[in-house]
Amino acid sequence: MSFLRQHGVALVAAKEIPPLLAQAIVATEDERFYQHHGIDAIGIGRAALFDATHRCLCQGASTITQQLVKDIYLHGSDRGLNKVIDAVVAFKVETKISKQQILADYLSEIPTGPGMYGIDEASCTYLGMLPLRLDLADEALLAGLAQAPSAYDPQLHPHAATIRRNEVLRAMLTEGDVTPAEVKTARLEPIIPERIAAGC
C-alpha cells in the first residue's frame, strides 16, 4: 500500500482498537457498517433525495469501506469513474477482509490533523497516550476528527472540537452504545485533559 508507506503509517491490529472507539466511529461515520457489504444503498438513496430537494451536492454516502478504498487505492479521489471503481472495490474488499480489520485499517490511515494520519498518532499528539488507555470523552474526540481534522483540531479550535465531540456522544447514545449518565460525565471533561500522560 503505497499510501501507507508514503506517509509512514503503520497498520493497527483489530485487537488494538478500543471497542467504544470503534462504536464511536461507526455511529458517526457509517451507522449501518455492520449491516451492509461495502455499499450503503439506504445512505445513497437518502443522500440523493436530500441533494435533489435542496438542489445541491451536499451529502455524501460513502461507507467506511469506500472511504478506505478511496484513500488507499484511488489517491483520495472518488470523482467521476473513480466513484464506480470505489463501490466495486469496496464490495470486493468486504468479501476478503473482516469488518473488524476494515475498521482497524481505516483508523490507521485517516487524516487526523496537519500531517497526521491514524488514530494512534492523534491519540499521542492530543492526549499523550495510546488509544487503549482512553476514556469515552477522549474516544469521542478522536472519532469526531475523521469528518474534518483541521476544523476540529482540539488545540487550535477547542470550541469546535467540543461541539463535535458532543455530537459524537449524542450519536453513540442514539445507537445505544452508551448511557445518558456516561454521556453527561463525558461532556463535563475538558477537551484537552489536564491529566495528559507521557506514555506514547
Query: Residue 176, Cβ neighbours under 10 Å: how many?
Result: 9
**Mean pLDDT, residues 90-116 taken together:** 92
C-alpha cell at 169: 456522544
Domain presence at residue 192: no
Please measure the distance between the N-terminal and C-terminal CA atoms of the chain and give it in whole angstroms: 25
Domain presence at residue 67: yes
- Cite the DSSP H helix spans in 74-179: 81-96, 99-109, 119-122, 136-145, 158-174
**Domain holding 64: CATH number?**
1.10.3810.10
Domain presence at residue 50: yes
- Give ∠ CA 98-148-41 in degrees, rounded to 5: 45
Predicted confidence band of residue 11 (pLDDT cuts 50, 70, 90): confident
Domain presence at residue 194: no
Domain presence at residue 195: no
Quick: pLDDT tens for 73-96. Answer: 777 666 667 777 888 889 999 999
Predicted confidence band of residue 175 (pLDDT cuts 50, 70, 90): very high
Position 3 pLDDT exceeds 60:
no
Position 52 pLDDT exceeds 90:
no
DSSP 123: I
Domain presence at residue 193: no
Predicted confidence band of residue 51 (pLDDT cuts 50, 70, 90): very low
**Mean pLDDT, residues 93-101 taken together:** 93
Domain presence at residue 198: no
Phi, psi of 116 (to 5 degrees): -110, 140
Closest CA to 63 of 75, 47, 50, 52: 47
Position 41 pLDDT exceeds 80:
no
Dihedral (CA of 46, 103, 19, 113) sign: negative
Asked if 124 contacts 130 with a C-beta cutoff of 8 angstroms, the reply is: yes
In whole angstroms, what separates CA 124 from the centre of its chain?
17
Position 192 pLDDT exceeds 60:
yes
Pairwise CA distance, residues 171 & 168, whole Å: 5
Number of domains forming the structure of the chain = 1
Predicted confidence band of residue 64 (pLDDT cuts 50, 70, 90): very high
C-alpha cell at 134: 482512553
Domain presence at residue 86: yes
Position 56 pLDDT exceeds 60:
no
Name residue 113's beta-bridge partners.
116
- 168 lies in which domain range? 2-187
Position 151 pLDDT exceeds 50:
yes
